[in-house]
Amino acid sequence: MRPGNHTIDEQRQGEAVGPRSGKEGGRKLYLESYGCQMNFSDSEIVASILTDAGYSTTRNQEEADLILLNTCSIRDNAEQRIRHRLQHLKGGKRNNPKLKVGILGCMAERLRDKLLEEEKLVDLVVGPDAYRDLPRLVDEVEGGQKAVNTLLSREETYAEIQPVRLDDKGVTAFISIMRGCDNMCSFCVVPFTRGRERSRDPQSIVAEARDLFAKGYREVTLLGQNVDSYKWNVDAKGIVKDETQPVVRFAQLMDLVSDVDPDLRVRFSTSHPKDMTDEVLEVMARKDNLCKYIHLPVQSGHSDVLKRMNRGYTRDWYLDRIAAIRRIMPDCAISTDVIAGFCGETTEEHEETLSLMKEVRYEMAYMFKYSERPRTLAERKFEDDVPEEEKGRRLSEIIALQQEHSRERTAAQCGKVYRVLVEGPSKKNAEEFQGRNTYNSVIVFPKGDAQPGQYVYVRTTDHTSVTLRGERIAEAEAQEAGYIA
Ligand code: 5AD
Ligand code: SF4
């Protein structure tokens, strides 16, 4: 997943853009999202459902009638942050007694009505599969009651709901292609908060991509907890449901979405090493608009730890998948997730994680200390026995090594010519634009006459540890230089 857009625990507020926003005099919704890209994507569905029910979104918390926090439970500190946020909101409720506060997402699902007891200012608790019920629940709350719906579903994919895009740049967008997760990694709370895995109708996914392209978007990220197990018209045992219709797995879905337009870039997140097929890699290799970037969480470099984590692969299996990526797309960028100090992790096992990182040399990584989560397999079966200090020490080693690799990777990308999708002004200098190359690396360059949403050619001349800087060049010159698409 991309830096900046998906820092876990990152928080973002959104205001709806487009024709359905801003009904004068209507009720105002302030929506705040935490956690993964899937949560940000869900917030756009929530905004859509509530805009249809007469709300308009606002960026100004002071003028809101309803504040919704779309929450994350992945680690204890994610939940603590949201608890702090709720403390802050108490002041807002004192100033405006009519203000209603709701909790959505994973924390709502995990804690359910307990949240109402624990956090007195919360009026509304709604889990990830119950957003269609929001208008009714909000009405109940406005009538002075408290309301809860945390029913999980085996079918809900919100397939036909047209998300209200909360990112006002209008260049990149998320498309949810599936929901839930059946993997049961022993450390992970997601199967409990997001329920069983289900895939969304491919036609509705392609239609959404087409619609985004028509509106000027130039990049979509296909989202799922485990995109490699996307399947349509075939059950878990591989039996085709309707013989008259094609079976669509992730490789075919990518093919379909990439056919929307050669100028629509397609990314995806997250892959699972146990399910990632060569077929997917071959489709990626064939098409320039399928970006050469794979996020392949490893979690640990030792097979015994992977077994305790119930990941379904060994170190060798994982390295074989890396070898397949390198064979089929020698230049593909690879990033990962790593957990330090999982239950029973010995120093030797930790060293194996470092050695695997040295073997793969990831472009980028998200790195975490293990945080025990209630109800998970690990909580029930293993002791969280690596002392906090030792977890911190191991994590620091992992981070230091990754920084070395990231720097090395950025340096290797310097001096080349890339086709860059312009996203918007650079974070540090309003006179410059930033965009990304196919490898998901951020590239900064002087604005000139470029526009967000446009593709430009940039020769990189300079770099910091993670950002490249360069000069825009003409297409003919880029072609001569053999640019990277
Ligand atoms: N503790 C620490 N990190 C976790 N992750 C998931 N559950 C936990 C946990 N209990 C990390 C994994 C996953 C990423 C989204 O968050 O690395 O890939
Ligand atoms: Fe957090 Fe996981 Fe829920 Fe995403 S799915 S919001 S990362 S707990």
Domain boundaries, the chain: 27-149, 172-412, 417-481
Q: What is the pLDDT of residue 468?
A: 97
How remote is the CA of residue 76 from the centroid of ligand 1, in Å?
A: 11
Q: Give the C-alpha distances (Å, rounded to integers) separating 120 from 71, 150, 296, 342.
A: 17, 18, 40, 34
Of residues 218, 215, 205, 211, the one with CA closest to residue 172: 218
Of residues 40, 54, 31, 30, the one with CA closest to residue 8: 40
Q: pLDDT per residue over 281-305, tens digit each?
A: 999 999 999 999 999 999 999 999 9
Do 318 and 273 touch, CB atoms closer than 8 A?
Answer: yes
Under DSSP, is residue 432 helix (H, G, I), strand (E, B) or coil? strand
Q: Which ligand is nearest to the CA of 367?
A: 1
Do 61 and 30 touch, CB atoms closer than 8 A?
Answer: yes
Instruction: Give me the chain's average pLDDT, please.
Output: 93
Q: Which ligand is nearest to the CA of 104?
A: 2
Does the C-beta of 218 come closer than 6 Å to ligand 1?
no
Q: Which of 190, 225, 227, 371 for a ligand 2 pocket mutation test, highest count of atoms within 8 Å of Cβ?
A: 190
Atom 7, ligand 2: residue with shortest CA distance: 36
Does CATH place domain 172-412 in 3.80.30.20?
Answer: yes
Do 16 and 47 touch, CB atoms closer than 8 A?
Answer: yes
Q: Which of 2, 10, 337, 345 for a ligand 1 pocket mutation test, highest count of atoms within 8 Å of Cβ?
A: 337
Quick one: pLDDT band at residue 1, thresholds 50, 70, 90?
A: very low
How remote is the CA of residue 439 from the centroid of ligand 1, in Å?
A: 24
Q: pLDDT per residue over 251-287, tens digit each?
A: 999 999 999 999 999 999 999 999 999 999 999 999 9
Q: Which of 11, 12, 74, 183 for a ligand 2 pocket mutation test, highest count of atoms within 8 Å of Cβ?
A: 74
Q: What is the pLDDT of residue 13?
A: 57
Q: Residue 249's beta-bridge partner residues?
A: 231
How remote is the CA of residue 223 from the centroid of ligand 1, in Å?
A: 17
Q: pLDDT per residue over 407-443, tens digit each?
A: 999 999 999 999 999 999 998 888 999 999 999 999 9
Q: pLDDT per residue over 218-244, tens digit each?
A: 999 999 999 999 999 998 888 999 999
Strands 219-223 and 248-249: unpaired
Q: What is the pLDDT of residue 465?
A: 86
Q: Residue 462's beta-bridge partner residues?
A: 469
How remote is the CA of residue 183 from the centroid of ligand 1, in Å?
A: 13
How remote is the CA of residue 263 from the centroid of ligand 2, in Å?
A: 31
Percent of the chain scoring above 90 in pLDDT: 90
Q: Which of 1, 9, 73 for a ligand 2 pocket mutation test, highest count of atoms within 8 Å of Cβ?
A: 73
- Name residues whose C-beta falls within 8 Å of residue 440's C-beta, 6 or more positions apart in sequence: 2, 267, 291, 293, 333, 335, 363, 364
Average pLDDT over residues 481-485: 96
Q: What is the pLDDT of residue 94?
A: 84
Q: Residue 369's beta-bridge partner residues?
A: 340
Q: What is the pLDDT of residue 11?
A: 52
How remote is the CA of residue 38 from the centroid of ligand 2, in Å?
A: 7
Average pLDDT over residues 193-212: 97
Average pLDDT over residues 380-402: 98
Q: Which of 34, 40, 187, 367 for a ligand 1 pocket mutation test, highest count of atoms within 8 Å of Cβ?
A: 187
| Residue 194 alpha carbon, nearest atom of ligand 2 | 5
Full 3-state SS string of 374-428: CCCHHHHHCCCCCCHHHHHHHHHHHHHHHHHHHHHHHHHHCCCEEEEEEEEECCC
b/e 392-405 (16+ beta carbons within 10 angstroms → b): ebbbebbeebbeeb
Q: pLDDT per residue over 454-466, tens digit each?
A: 999 999 999 998 8
Q: Which ligand is nearest to the CA of 179?
A: 2
Percent of the chain scoring above 70 in pLDDT: 95
Q: pLDDT per residue over 151-160, tens digit each?
A: 999 999 999 9
Mutual angle of helices 315-328 and 278-286, in 10-degree steps: 20
CATH number of 417-481: 2.40.50.140
Does the C-beta of 75 come closer than 6 Å to ligand 1?
yes
CA distance 128 to 179: 9
Q: pLDDT per residue over 77-101, tens digit each?
A: 999 999 999 999 988 888 888 999 9
The one-letter code for the residue type at 286 is R
Q: What is the pLDDT of residue 237?
A: 86
Q: What is the pLDDT of residue 15?
A: 55
Q: Residue 102's beta-bridge partner residues?
A: 68, 124
How remote is the CA of residue 32 from the centroid of ligand 1, in Å?
A: 22
How remote is the CA of residue 330 from the centroid of ligand 2, in Å?
A: 32
Residue 22 pLDDT exceeds 70: no
Atom 4, ligand 2: residue with shortest CA distance: 36
Q: Where are the alpha helices (H) located in 215-314, listed in sequence order? A: 250-258, 278-286, 303-308
Q: Phi, psi at residue 246, to the nearest 5°?
A: -70, 155
Residue 167 pLDDT exceeds 90: no
Atom 1, ligand 2: residue with shortest CA distance: 72
Q: Please name the CATH architecture into which domain 27-149 falls.
A: 3-Layer(aba) Sandwich (3.40)
Does the C-beta of 370 come closer than 6 Å to ligand 1?
yes
Residue 24 pLDDT exceeds 80: no
CA distance 124 to 137: 8
How remote is the CA of residue 167 from the centroid of ligand 2, in Å?
A: 19
Q: Give the C-alpha distances (Å, rounded to integers) separating 445 from 76, 165, 421, 424.
A: 39, 27, 12, 11
CA 434 to chain centre: 20
Do 49 and 134 touch, CB atoms closer than 8 A?
Answer: yes
